[in-house]
Amino acid sequence: MKKQLIILVCLITLPVIAQSQQPGRGMPEIVSPEINQDHTVTFRLIAPNAKEVMISGDWMPSQGWSPGSTAMVRDEKGTWTFTSGVLPSELYSYFFLVDGLRCMDPNNVYMIRDVATVTNIFLVGGGQADLYAVNDVPHGTVARRWYDSPGTDKVRRITVYTPPGYEKGNDKYPVLYLLHGMGGDEEAWLTLGRTAQILDNLIARGKALPMIVVMPNGNVAQEAAPGESDAGLYKPSFQVPNTMDGKMEETFPDIIRFTENNYRVQKNKAGRAIAGLSMGGYHTLHISRYYPGTFDYIGLFSAAIMPNEKADSKVYADLDATLARQKANGYKLYWIGIGKTDFLYKAVSDYRTKLDRMGMPYQYRESEGGHTWANWRIYLSELVQLLFN
């Protein structure tokens, strides 16, 4: 009995010991980040041997292309601390620079990968970011599946959100096809975009109708996100071949076919929406006019609107004529969102001028900020409330 008690004690204390030995052998346990009552946030790092510790957070004003950063303050024991000002409700990301070396916060296990970099994240609630939190509401299902794509001659990975209640009953659901930007993949809208939380929360509040959200991988050269295909655990890169050459648009019917053959969905224009950010906005623009009788709802988020005459694809031929056909076929909502400081602002303005000239109606949303996931989460939150009504 005594021996077994010792085993029990070992079992319980083993990883606690192992854990407390890094990073601060013998150092007290700390919490970082700590969201304070007043919505300031305190960060802590035990690094007694460091000469300079900076924190870089996405709420700090950036310096040119460089994200902003600020110095942390060392106490006599070697714990570095920084407390932010009051932060508006949002999902934030940050990392430390320890004597110039980019380090994750060893006390924060919550991280998101964006292309080839990983940052720690935290949530400040009490506002917009309550939509990004997991709340005590009914939750949908998130499935990672693989679909046949004869158009790309591949079997490809895809993420599907089905709303709470989908598995019970026989209702047919509308579908939002949601496309990522350059460097992203079928994980991006779920991790950086908090899609499952946004949908769960808005459906629970009665602000969005239950819908299925299909998040494909828009890089037709890939079978799946980095680490999720037989290409192995390679270093991801922003540039993947064949991202904006028409192949994604051409092979999009493979994704619709998979969805409509595998889910209880409304198989008509009124039951289909498509939206995307940046490159995904470009894909959305072209897919929705190339298949002009397919979608009643179109959302362009910071869309990378640019000519692509070099791409040898029939998809990009007859832009004006196909837009005119899309207009003639009719749609319920053409939604365009862009940040005031987005580097694509001018391109989107020019596109709006074109639509104005053609008399193609659209709803326009201009937000603060630039080409950021903060904006795309806001746009998604707003768009889904307008769908399928």
By CB under 8 A, the residues from 275 to 334 that bind a copy of itself are 278-279, 304, 306-307
Tell me the Ramachandran region of residue 170: left when phi exceeds 0, alpha when psi lies from -120 to 50, beta otherwise. alpha
Within 184-223, which residues bind a copy of itself (CB under 8 A)?
none
Looking at the Cβ atoms of 134 and 270, the one nearer to a copy of itself is 134
Give the one residue of 41, 287, 347, 380 binding a copy of itself; rule: CB under 8 A: 347
Q: How far is the CB of 50 from a copy of itself (least distance, A)?
A: 7
Looking at the Cβ atoms of 182 and 333, the one nearer to a copy of itself is 182
Contact 111, 104 (CB under 8 A): yes
Q: How far is the CB of 199 from a copy of itself (least distance, A)?
A: 14
Give the one residue of 41, 43, 44, 46 binding a copy of itself; rule: CB under 8 A: 46
Contact 378, 192 (CB under 8 A): no
Q: How many chain residues are in contact with a copy of itself, going by CB under 8 A?
A: 94
CA 20 to CA 46: how far, in whole Å?
A: 12
Looking at the Cβ atoms of 88 and 330, the one nearer to a copy of itself is 88
Q: How far is the CB of 64 from a copy of itself (least distance, A)?
A: 9
For residue 375, which amino acid is it?
A: N
Residue corresponding to tokens 């089905």? 162
Within 58-77, which residues bind a copy of itself (CB under 8 A)?
65-67
Q: Where are the alpha helices (DSSP H) in the chain?
A: 2-20, 188-191, 195-204, 247-250, 252-262, 279-290, 319-329, 345-358, 373-384
Give the one residue of 135, 242, 266, 372 binding a copy of itself; rule: CB under 8 A: 135
2 near a copy of itself (CB under 8 A): no
Within 94-123, which residues bind a copy of itself (CB under 8 A)?
95, 97-104, 106-111, 113-118, 121-123
Phi, psi of 144 (to 5 degrees): -100, 115
CA 70 to CA 65: how far, in whole Å?
A: 16
> Considering only 133-141, 283-291, 317-325, 373-381, which stretch makes contact with a copy of itself by CB under 8 A?
133-141
Contact 336, 365 (CB under 8 A): yes
Within 249-268, which residues bind a copy of itself (CB under 8 A)?
262
Q: What is the dihedral of CA 15, 16, 18, 24, to 10 degrees?
A: 150
Cα–Cα nearest to 253, from 184, 353, 150 = 150
Within 168-187, which residues bind a copy of itself (CB under 8 A)?
182-183
The residues with which 191 forms a beta bridge, in sequence order, are none
Q: Give the per-residue contact string, 348-377, with a copy of itself (x = CB under 8 A; - = no).
A: -----------------------x------
Looking at the Cβ atoms of 21 and 268, the one nearer to a copy of itself is 21
If one counts every other C-beta atom within 10 angstroms of the C-beta of residue 12, the result is: 9
Cβ neighbours of residue 13 closer than 8 Å, sequence gap 6 or more: none
Within 230-249, which residues bind a copy of itself (CB under 8 A)?
230, 232-233, 235-236, 238-239
